[in-house]
A and B are shown apart, each in its own frame.
Chain A
Amino acid sequence: MMCQAECRHYLQFSFQLPDVYQVFESVAKKYDVMNDMMSLGIHRVWKDLLLWKMRPFPGTQLLDVAGGTGDIAFRFLNYVQAQHQRKQKKQLRAQQNLSWEEIARKYQNEEDSLGGSRVMVCDINKEMLKIGKQKAHAQGYKAGLAWILGDAEELPFDDDKFDVYTIAFGIRNVTHIDQALQEAHRVLKPGGRFLCLEFSQVNNPLVSRLYDVYSFQVIPVLGEVIAGDWKSYQYLVESIRQFPSQEEFKEMIEDAGFQKVTYENLTSGIVAIHSGFKL
């Protein structure tokens, strides 16, 4: 069963299997544009849903693996910041009898605006990280954010470090998915949560037909016209088809030691969010 999951990666590509690193190196600059074009902007909703499912509390330590261009990390920072601000407002309203010193301190913003939340973005690809850092700079994200070059199969972190581990549209590009899952289990604290947002199997036959047509007929053309790169996007749609089904992936997550593993289909199963806990 494990071997099949691995072997899958070496079959069925319509041309010489490209080096995944090179694929992402060449798509990095147009990654976000292409995501918008290919999913007609829906990928933004999927990522928002991942954050809403996560519901991070202030002080959450998040590890976002294969987080390249920072989409999940920025959403996380927005979420915890908004949450922290709401909490502060509530506190201020409740505390009507503050001394002058206490009020002055609050206005000086000595407090951490994120309430102790931190996100580490880990990616194996330098180009993707570079784009992510540029975006962070352009959009003004500084506090609580770190960028680490690392391999999902061998994370450069100690055991029991993080509250939440996310991997969005990244795990299907990992050669040994089971190793990535084991690493995820290792670096999470007891009680920590694993969340994976990934393409999955469509459960509706009509949607499946349309999705296939769109994937195989339109997406490589979009890749060629917009990014001048047919082959990377052909690889993309083929790698999506190779990925295990919702149930199979659930079993793989359970094999890595996670418990209470569930999944939720989005957009008729084009995408699924898998969740598990280290207990």
Chain B
Amino acid sequence: MVSAAMATLLRGFLRPLCAFRGSPGSSTGVPLRAVSHGAGLLYPEHIPTSPLQKVLLAAGSAGMALYDPYRHDMVAVLGETTGHRTLKVLRDQMKKDPEGAQILLERPRISLSTLDMGKLRGLPEGSFGCAYLRFLDVNRVSPDTRAPTRFVDDEELAYVIQRYREIHDMLHTLLGMPTNILGEIVVKWFEAVQTGLPMCVLSALFGPIQLSTQSLQLLISELIPWAVENGRRAPCVLNVYYERRWEQPLQALRQELGITEPPLRVEGLV
């Protein structure tokens, strides 16, 4: 069965191989087989990859992410190379929901250039926008650190995964989780239940390896059950047009999504 899979993979890459390769050393003046300057690209950052390359990338990025936890780009690559089927499901879910469909149509992006920081700062205490801003300040993060999608071979799905990445900070705000390792793992569990993306599942399962026993205990006994329960209860978080809800009180938004208060404070823990 493994050899049959390998055979399919081999056949799969031999064909695109012809596109990449020019015939070497021809000095006869016959134009070499030109790989199009951008015509194969579905979106500006797109890098087309063969099935074999995707497998190698998935394996390599998984290994490197475990070996060097600071390689966030590897986690992103893992998500892109393993998420195709799941992204389709998510995209279809978004299409069925009115707010989600609008997001797919308008394709809002979250970055310092698209966010109206002045307006956000003027928002009342207790609003979602105010809480989000406070989260960014306290944890010293910026919405501009998300790498662009490269290895997804469908431009709409590329947006879906980009959107998933960009709302990550919003989920932190809604769940009340800081950006330390424990907080990130809790958010990953929530995301894993919500999206089903293989990368989220892998991170959720392997992330806890680096935790202390005490944190691990708290994670397993309290935080994971809470995250899973909320993940199940909440509607698809990709269907929320966050940019239109800055003024909405945080508590109201939480209630709407069925998200309860975290069972304990995670700030001081590691």
Contact = CB atoms under 8 A, between A and B. Distances in A.
B17 A216 contact: yes
Interface stretch (B47-55, B132-140, B156-164, B189-197): B47-55
B27 A216 contact: no
Contacts of A14: 20, 35-36, 40
For A4, A216, A220, A221, which residue has the most chain B Cβ atoms within 10 angstroms? Answer: A221
B247 interface: no
B233 interface: no
A241 B60 CA distance: 25
A226 B53 CA distance: 15
Interface in A194-239: 201, 212-213, 216-218, 220-222, 224-226, 228, 230-231, 238
A217 B24 contact: no
A248 B28 CA distance: 12
Given A241-B22, A241-B24, A244-B25, A224 B32 contact: no
B264 interface: no
Given A16-B37, A213-B17, A216-B17, A221 B60 contact: yes
A245 B24 contact: yes
Interface string A127-145: 0000000000000000000
For B34, B40, B56, which residue has the most chain A Cβ atoms within 10 angstroms? Answer: B56
B35 to A, nearest CB: 4
B73 interface: yes
Interface residues of B, number: 34
Nearest to B14: A213
A217 B35 CA distance: 16
Contacts of B36: 14
A15 B24 contact: no
Interface in A72-126: none
For A14, A220, A230, which residue has the most chain B Cβ atoms within 10 angstroms? Answer: A14
B25 A11 contact: no
B61 interface: yes
A35 interface: no
B201 interface: no
Contact of B35 (A4, A12, A226, A248): A12
Contact of A11 (B32, B47, B56): B32
A245 B26 CA distance: 9
B172 to A, nearest CB: 25
A248 B25 contact: yes
Contacts of A245: 24-25
A248 B27 contact: yes
A62 to B, nearest CB: 30
B60 A11 contact: no
A253 B32 CA distance: 24
B71 interface: yes
Interface in B18-47: 20-22, 24-25, 27, 29, 31-38, 40-41, 47
A13 interface: yes
B206 interface: no
Contacts of A248: 25, 27
Contacts of A216: 17, 20-21
Interface in B71-101: 71, 73-74, 77
Contacts of A1: 27
B53 A201 contact: no
B43 to A, nearest CB: 13
12 contacts: A14-B20, A14-B35, A15-B41, A221-B57, A224-B57, A224-B61, A225-B57, A225-B61, A225-B63, A241-B24, A244-B25, A245-B25
Nearest first, the 8 A-B pairs at minimum CB distance are A225-B60, A245-B25, A14-B35, A221-B56, A12-B22, A216-B20, A225-B64, A201-B25
